[in-house]
Chain A
Amino acid sequence: MGLELIPISRPAPGSGGLTGTWRTLKPLVDLAKCIDCGICWLYCPEAVIDWEKGKKISIDYAYCKGCGICAHECPVKAIEMAPEET
């Protein structure tokens, strides 16, 4: 009965479409500078940063909206926001 009372959503990757196309600035990671702290992974509001201790990070650009929070939070400035090429 419960599911019929209100329209419920279940999480699915990319349910909002390819939000990466909204990006005007692209976060570029300098893995040589990265100290593998995971702070960007924690802060990314879109949960598009993958991080495994020892392997550093990677960003899923299909859904990264380019908000720049990761670059702002990175303690060693390993992420640079570069203009998106059109």
Chain B
Amino acid sequence: MRQLASLKTALTGNYAVAYAVKMAKPHVIAAYPITPQTTIVEKLSEFVAKGELRASFVNVESEFSALATVYGASMAGARAFTATSSHGLFYMYEMLWWAAGSRAPIVMAVVTRTVGPPWNIHDEHNDILAIRDSGWAVAMASSVQEAFDLTVQAFRLAEKAYIPVAVGLDGFVLSHTVETLELPPQELVDEFLPPRSPNAPMPLRPGLPLTFGNIPSDDRIHAEHLKRIYWAHQEAKKAIKEIDAEYGKLLGRSYGGLVERRWLEDAKYAVVCMGAWCGDAEAAVESLRREGVPVGLMRLRFIRPFPDEEVAELEAAEKVVVFDRDITPAGGVLGREVASVLGRDKVVDVVAGIAGVDFKASDFKAAFRKALEAEKGVVLI
């Protein structure tokens, strides 16, 4: 076996993403600064300026242009990356649909942040959840290490499934918090992530005029195209698991595919959550278990494609408590998605930690007990 040493170091979540992107060797990066995303592209522009990364770094005047730039680059065959947060993500909204509808294999980091009004830069998941129907794959990391791993995996997934991938990480909680992580040797990342094919989704090159996106001669062509995106997401579920397993074999860490499971085998109750606060949820679940409560945890790593099959495993549980760090007029997004698999009677949706309000392991414990009392519906903390 080859001996290639990983580098154990400590980085913020944003720098971990920047290092992952650097090791993925993209051709084009374009982004517009917005807190708390900015330090990702700041670091990347530094890599480019120092000659450590041979990529075109395109400074743009808006997030709309940032995504339009990487979209064009991606359709021309380039590996392309952008990053944003909150209002910046919403400024991209129209282009998000064009990118996904064009099957452009872009990777984008979304550093989650509240949406105004009022102005608030703290953590919440409403921004990334709002793109869940656009055709992007949407993932959330739970640690700085996973932010790195997920970003590298995202390029493989995007370029295999021809689905753009949004890698979410919690604003400040991960983006600006230093944690230890292992950076793999470049050789192993190269092996895991070979150069992308420039011929798909379309072989765009001088002398071969082609168009995509013009008015279809028959609306049924458009309808078929939309159905293929649905099927691509269904197939991507398998790809996510395979890529995660292969990453584990080659680079030493895997997470279980679309979800990560803890103590679910004998669980009478299940907690479902996503993102950085799952660490606190896990501490709470562990503490409850020590007190004799048979509870397990399912952490959603992907919400698009949605892990329907994995969530269905929770049928065996008596009650499923979903924690949403987001709120909509209809309740929490994850609560509704999980209830769409398990039914409304089994699911209690706890909406907490919104607007960046701190939510600790002890808060999880208290909310869990409150949820069991509520039996179903939405509990607003």
Contacts and interface: CB of A to CB of B under 8 A. Distances in A.
B200 A8 contact: no
Contact of B212 (A1, A8, A11): A8
B75 to A, nearest CB: 9
A5 B102 CA distance: 9
Interface string B184-228: 000000000000010111110000011110111100011011001
Contacts, number: 42
A7 B199 CA distance: 14
Given A9-B214, A10-B209, A2 B221 contact: no
Nearest to B200: A2
A8 B225 contact: no
A5 B215 CA distance: 17
A35 B225 CA distance: 49
A2 B212 contact: no
B103 interface: yes
B188 to A, nearest CB: 27
A6 B100 CA distance: 11
B209 A2 contact: no
B201 A6 contact: yes
Given A2-B201, A5-B103, A5-B200, A10 B210 contact: yes
A65 to B, nearest CB: 15
Contact of A6 (B103, B199, B209, B215): B103
A5 B214 contact: no
A13 to B, nearest CB: 13
Contacts of A10: 209-211
18 contacts: A1-B199, A2-B199, A2-B201, A2-B202, A2-B203, A5-B202, A5-B228, A6-B103, A6-B225, A7-B212, A7-B222, A7-B224, A7-B225, A8-B202, A8-B211, A8-B212, A9-B212, A9-B214
